[in-house]
A = this chain, B = another copy of it.
Amino acid sequence: MGGPEIERLIALLSRLPGYGPRSARRAALTLLRQPQTRLLPLADAMEQAARSVRSCSTCGNLDSRDPCSICADPGRDRSIVCVVEGVGDLWALERAGVHRGLYHVLGGTLSPLGGTGPDDLSTRPLLVRLEEGGVREVILALGATVEGATTTHWLADRLSGFPVTVSRVGQGVPMGGALDVLDDGTLAAALLARRS
C-alpha cells in the first residue's frame, strides 16, 4: 500500500501515545498531503530535539542545555528543591508557576510489582546536592498513589539525617471539585488536612 516508506511511517506513527493503526493512517495521509509544510518541519524538529536534548546532570530535567535552564536561572531560589517523579510533573508545576525554587527529577516511584527499586531512582544525586549545602527545604511532590506515598515515606526517612526541612504537597479536594464525586481516600485526606 504505497510502498515501504508509507508502511514504515504508519507503523512508527501508530506507536505514538494515544495512536493506533487507524489514527496513524489518518495522520500519515494528513502529513503526506503537505510534505513541505508539515512532514519535513516535524521530521526536522524531531531530529533537532533528539540531537540536542539531554538530561540535566544536576536535576534530571530534559533540556537542550546542561545544566538546564531552571538550574542555570540565577533568579530561582536555590534553597528549595522540589522532588518530582518525572519531567512531566516538572512541566506541570512550571506551567502553574507556583514553584520558584529548583527541582529534582526522581525518574519514577518505588514499585515492587513494577520492578522499580531504590537503585532505579535518582536519589544519590539528590543526596549529593544536599551534602553540598545551600538547600533549606525539600518538597516531596509525588503523586497521591500507593507508590507515590510509599516513595514519599521512604525518601523522607532517607533525608532525615540532613539539616533540611522535608515537606510534602498537601492532599485534599482539588480546585473545582465537588465533594460528592470524590473517592473515600481523598475525602479522608481532606478532613485530616483541615485548617481552622
Q: Which of A's residues lie within 8 Å of B, judged by CB?
A: 1-6, 8-9, 12-13, 15-19, 23, 25-32, 35-36, 38-50, 52-53, 61-65, 68-69, 86-88, 91, 94-95
Contacts and interface: CB of A to CB of B under 8 A. Distances in A.
A193 B23 CA distance: 33
Contacts of A40: 46-47, 50
B6 A62 contact: yes
Nearest to A46: B43
A3 B64 contact: yes
B29 A87 contact: yes
Contact of A42 (B13, B32, B65): B13
Given A39-B49, A62-B32, A88 B26 contact: yes
A35 B40 CA distance: 18
Given A9-B49, A53-B32, A2 B61 contact: yes
